[in-house]
Structure 1
Amino acid sequence: MLRPWQTQVWLEHSAGETIHSRLVNKLIEDILTGRLETGALLPGSRSLATVLGLNRKTVQIAYDELIAQGWLVTQAKRGTFVSDLLPEQRLSAQYQHLLTDKPTFDSSNATLLAPIPIANKGYQSDNDGIPDARLIPYELLARAYRRALIAASRKQYLGYGDPQGTIELRNALQQMLTQERYLHLTAAQICTVRGSQMAIYLASRVLKPADGVMVFEELTYGPALAAFADAGFTILRCKTDQQGLDVTHLQQLIADQLSAGKKVAAIYTTPHHHYPTTVTLAMDRRLLLLQLSSRHNFYIIEDDYDHEFHFDSRPVPPLASLPGSERVLHIGSLSKVFAPGLRVGYLVANTDIIDQAVQQILMIDRQGNTITELALAELLASGEVKRHIRKSKKIYKNRRDHCVHELHRLFGDSVRFFIPAGGLAFWLEFGVKQLQLADFAAAPHFSVDKQGCTSIRFGFGAYTEPEITMALTRLHSQVNTAGQT
């Protein structure tokens, strides 16, 4: 059927420093203003490239990015359409503050700054170490979803199911955690969730403020702290250094609480790659932390958010796999393996904690996405997830090494950092006071006043090598400007 009209795109006044970003921002703007309505058919990449005088690959990359973000969808043999279910940016003004109002936590050592908007006003992209959605094996995932949908229909899985998660996914996770991370557990000790933040929230509801205070590292993951603060916990901060959590300081905090007739209920930690500084908690400290947990009866919430991405050596075993880990709540996410938009994570704990978590799920979520869980269970069991991780690690390692090269080339001795053994981010320390990064890289920034040194977390995983160079060049310009003021 002949299309009566061809959708036109005007790039002359669109925001962005590159043709790719201008095209992405313009299409998002047209969707937000209603010019491109939900369900609207977009020109083919070849046709739009011809009209705009661009390389077809530039248009296709822009389309792929918008599809990954949820603005567009593709239909086989039909074309590319504006999605019927747009991302969270389409919330009404009444609820927009839930997205734009980021919690700020002040202490003598750290301040968590809000994400910085990119060129298109109102649109934000958090890149503090997220994976690259462009690496997702879309065709493989699509086939797995198709088989999962057929299987769910035949087995009558499309009604209400187990709020703890499908047994297929929990069995697959049990195999992965046993074989890859040394954990000794059963499927009954696993609860699937919609990403690690949901697991953190469940932990904040299962544990009770009456049991004692919550301890967080002095620099920490803000949304986790917000969940426990909202649950009514008193928050204490523990020092960190080049080897991670300062367990000696933790002992002092525990002693102070005991002398005041109080207790520590739990500690939240990111031992594999500390958030945000990326350092790994030393083994002797891990063992001492577990001993303190057993001696003083407090829980350890281990957020193992990017265990898969370790480049230089074998990953250190998680706390949950070591002796004395009976009071560890282990949290992980498959969203980091693929993309943040694929909302699947897991909580591992003793069955009493899991049972309480399930009761919380029944009140807020009822159950997860059966189709997604079945599809991922198949990919885990078949080895495809492992294959994808192996392929992605090579790409991310190359990006990390390119980032190291560019940091040395652009900044020389004016930036301090160590090369992270894993993860998708760097912790960069600059000798510039009051560093302003209003336009830099659309990333969350951490400002730490340590003897006049300002630090940021720079995520490289979602950037290609040319994009890393571009982002660091922009950062270099802003650091120089700040140093001259």
Structure 2
Amino acid sequence: MNSPVQIPFKSFIQLKPEDSTSLYLQIVFEFIKAIQIGLLPEGTKLPGTRVLCKLLSVNRNTLIKAFHDLELQGWIEILPNKGTFILSEKKQKNKTETAVSQNLSNHNAGFTFKQSAILENPSELSTLPFQFNDGLPDLRLVQTDVLARLYVSKLKSQKTPKTWEEIQTQSHLNFKKQFSNFLNVTRGIRISTSNLLTTSSHEISLYLVTKLLITPGDKVVVASPGYYISNMTLSDSGAQIISIPVDKDGIITENLKQICEEHEIRILYLTSNYHYPTNTALSAKRRMEILELANQYGFVILEDDYDFDFHYDNNPILPLASLDSNERVVYIGSFGRSLPSGFGYGFIAATSAFISELEKHQNILEPGKDVIKEQVLADWIQEGEVHRLSKKNKKIYKERRDYFVSLLNENLKDKIKFQVPLRGLAIWVEWLDPFNLINLQKKCAVNGLFLPKTILYQTKNITATRLGFGHLNPTEMENAVIILKKSLEAVV
């Protein structure tokens, strides 16, 4: 193993003193990320705090505070007169189980409460004229006038019911019926209303599922690189994250099998159809291998199909849930991402027993149903309006994808490599020259282009950026790419 002083900490511990997130929390997050993706394997001895302070250019008290948090959460072990070590899995499990009860102090309040260093919001806001994101739709394309008319008509048509609970129940059942039929037709799954739970958002769906499936110390396999929101949710539930690499055919099943032979795995979290952030689709061969491994080793496949709505081929890849004959898959996704905020939905499709248990927790978290919204969307599905809107939007987004690809090839051809995605609203761009992405981010900001840190990926093996194009019209794309090219020339 390399000497701890020789480990290139500066290459993967990226700190931004000007950021609104406190410096000690930045250190915590960066170390957790480095441990999760394997840059700091278990047993690694870290340099002394004085040496590490010089390497990272931080105050020693700040580093000690960060190490205290990392130790409470079970990521490191500080042994007097021996040093600081990345924690072994057995000890990490014990630490994880006690971390919640230990981490109760807060010096800025008159009472104690649990604090999380995992759930710090990584999102950033900017007023710069041009911005990239990780693949969001353009809300300017939404037919708000149609939605408004439908919503108002539903409000006016409401008659005084016998009981409000009765109309709420009837409307929700009708919505679930239309929605389950929609999923059966579009995604090839075979479910009824008893196999479906709708939620207010994709994030709520993931939260509910992890609450039921994970107990502290459970081992959860994720792909690396992965989706930061899901990793935060899984980690906060007490899961021990084990990461496996991704290649051109998706997650590497040989690695998964080896992990299963060495550990008892509770969950495989998977974005199978459109891996976040690389856009790689899981091959047919590996899909069958994963289903066989789940059946053999007894783990749950948590399949996240967050972006199914945006595919550009006539035969979209169907989810693993459509092939699942052994009921090992819990399928979550989103609906209506092209609709205005508040009209979209998250959903969970699984066995009826699991859905029934989820409903108990949802009744606490989301006790009421938006009857009018559900009636509007049920009509949209039943009348085919959702399909017409989807077809129209896919045409627009495909044109934008193709134009964005032409701009990247024209301006950055010798600087990047990428694959044209068959679905989604972002392109995974790998940079051919080694440079610091934070320097590129700063230079772009000076020139009027915002690159949020959530789309920047830099480790010892990867220098890449996830560039969302869906929210940009052709003129905005041109300006953004020109600024990106100009900024890159100043950095490399």
What TM-score does the superposition give when structure 1 sets the normalisation length? 0.72
* 1:6-42 alpha-carbon deviations (Å, 9 max, x no partner): xxxxxxxxxxxxxxxxxxxxxxxxxxxxxxxxxxxxx
Residue 125 to residue 266, structure 1, CA distance change in 2 (3 Å)? farther
Aligned residue among 238, 244, 259 for 1:238: 244
* Paired AA for residue 179 in structure 1: V
Residue 252 to residue 371, structure 1, CA distance change in 2 (3 Å)? same
Match of 2:301 in 1: 300
- Does structure 2 conserve the Cα–Cα contact (< 8 Å) formed by 1:380 and 1:386? yes
Report how far residue 445 of structure 1 moved. Answer: 1.8
* Paired AA for residue 482 in structure 2: T
Query: Matched residues in 2 for 1:178 and 1:256: separation?
Result: 37
Match of 2:398 in 1: 397
Report how far residue 154 of structure 1 moved. Answer: 4.5
Query: Matched residues in 2 for 1:227 and 1:351: separation?
Result: 24
* 1:265-308 alpha-carbon deviations (Å, 9 max, x no partner): 11111111110111111111111111111111111111111112
Match of 2:33 in 1: 106
Report how far residue 153 of structure 1 moved. Answer: 4.5
- Does structure 2 conserve the Cα–Cα contact (< 8 Å) formed by 1:163 and 1:367? no
- Does structure 2 conserve the Cα–Cα contact (< 8 Å) formed by 1:432 and 1:482? no
Match of 1:206 in 2: 212
Match of 1:178 in 2: 184
Query: Matched residues in 1 for 2:422 and 2:218: separation?
Result: 35
Match of 1:428 in 2: 429
Report how far residue 228 of structure 1 moved. Answer: 1.6
Report how far residue 152 of structure 1 moved. Answer: 4.8
Aligned residue among 422, 441, 445 for 2:455: 445
Match of 2:469 in 1: 460
Match of 1:196 in 2: 202
* 1:375-405 alpha-carbon deviations (Å, 9 max, x no partner): 1111011100100000000000000000110
Residue 272 to residue 355, structure 1, CA distance change in 2 (3 Å)? same
Structure 2 counterpart SS, 1:462: coil
Aligned residue among 451, 457, 475 for 2:484: 475
Residue 186 to residue 412, structure 1, CA distance change in 2 (3 Å)? same
* Paired AA for residue 199 in structure 1: S
Tell me which moved more, 163-172 or 325-334.
163-172
Match of 1:223 in 2: 229
* 1:122-153 alpha-carbon deviations (Å, 9 max, x no partner): x9988211111011111211122123324554
Match of 2:414 in 1: 413
Match of 2:357 in 1: 356
The alignment yields a C-alpha RMSD, in angstroms, of 2.9
Residue 229 to residue 119, structure 1, CA distance change in 2 (3 Å)? same
Consecutive unaligned residues in structure 2, runs of 5 or more? 1-19, 40-119
Structure 2 counterpart SS, 1:332: strand
Aligned residue among 119, 123, 134 for 2:127: 119
Report how far residue 442 of structure 1 moved. Answer: 4.5
* 1:413-454 alpha-carbon deviations (Å, 9 max, x no partner): 211100001100000011232122132434432323354x51
Query: Matched residues in 1 for 2:21 and 2:177: separation?
Result: 39
Residue 124 to residue 327, structure 1, CA distance change in 2 (3 Å)? farther
Match of 2:92 in 1: none
Give yes or no for the alignment of 1:250 onto 2:259.
no
Structure 2 counterpart SS, 1:281: coil
Structure 2 counterpart SS, 1:333: strand
- Does structure 1 conserve the Cα–Cα contact (< 8 Å) formed by 2:144 and 2:340? no
- Does structure 2 conserve the Cα–Cα contact (< 8 Å) formed by 1:209 and 1:265? no
Report how far residue 110 of structure 1 moved. Answer: 8.7
Structure 2 counterpart SS, 1:346: strand
Match of 2:135 in 1: 129
Residue 191 to residue 156, structure 1, CA distance change in 2 (3 Å)? farther
Match of 1:365 in 2: 366
Query: Matched residues in 2 for 1:309 and 1:301: separation?
Result: 21
Query: Matched residues in 2 for 1:419 and 1:381: separation?
Result: 34
Structure 1 counterpart SS, 2:238: coil
- Does structure 2 conserve the Cα–Cα contact (< 8 Å) formed by 1:165 and 1:368? no
Residue 432 to residue 446, structure 1, CA distance change in 2 (3 Å)? same
What TM-score does the superposition give when structure 2 sets the normalisation length? 0.71
Report how far residue 335 of structure 1 moved. Answer: 3.6
Query: Matched residues in 2 for 1:226 and 1:160: separation?
Result: 38
- Does structure 1 conserve the Cα–Cα contact (< 8 Å) formed by 2:333 and 2:348? yes
Tell me which moved more, 107-116 or 420-429.
107-116
Residue 428 to residue 203, structure 1, CA distance change in 2 (3 Å)? same
Report how far residue 338 of structure 1 moved. Answer: 2.1
Structure 2 counterpart SS, 1:107: helix
Query: Matched residues in 2 for 1:460 and 1:471: separation?
Result: 10
Consecutive unaligned residues in structure 1, runs of 5 or more? 1-95, 258-262
Structure 1 counterpart SS, 2:437: coil
- Does structure 1 conserve the Cα–Cα contact (< 8 Å) formed by 2:168 and 2:371? no
- Does structure 2 conserve the Cα–Cα contact (< 8 Å) formed by 1:115 and 1:445? no
Query: Matched residues in 2 for 1:146 and 1:329: separation?
Result: 36
* Paired AA for residue 386 in structure 2: V
* Paired AA for residue 189 in structure 1: N
Report how far residue 207 of structure 1 moved. Answer: 0.5
Residue 115 to residue 323, structure 1, CA distance change in 2 (3 Å)? closer
Query: Matched residues in 1 for 2:326 and 2:383: separation?
Result: 30
- Does structure 2 conserve the Cα–Cα contact (< 8 Å) formed by 1:313 and 1:421? no
Q: Percent identity?
A: 27
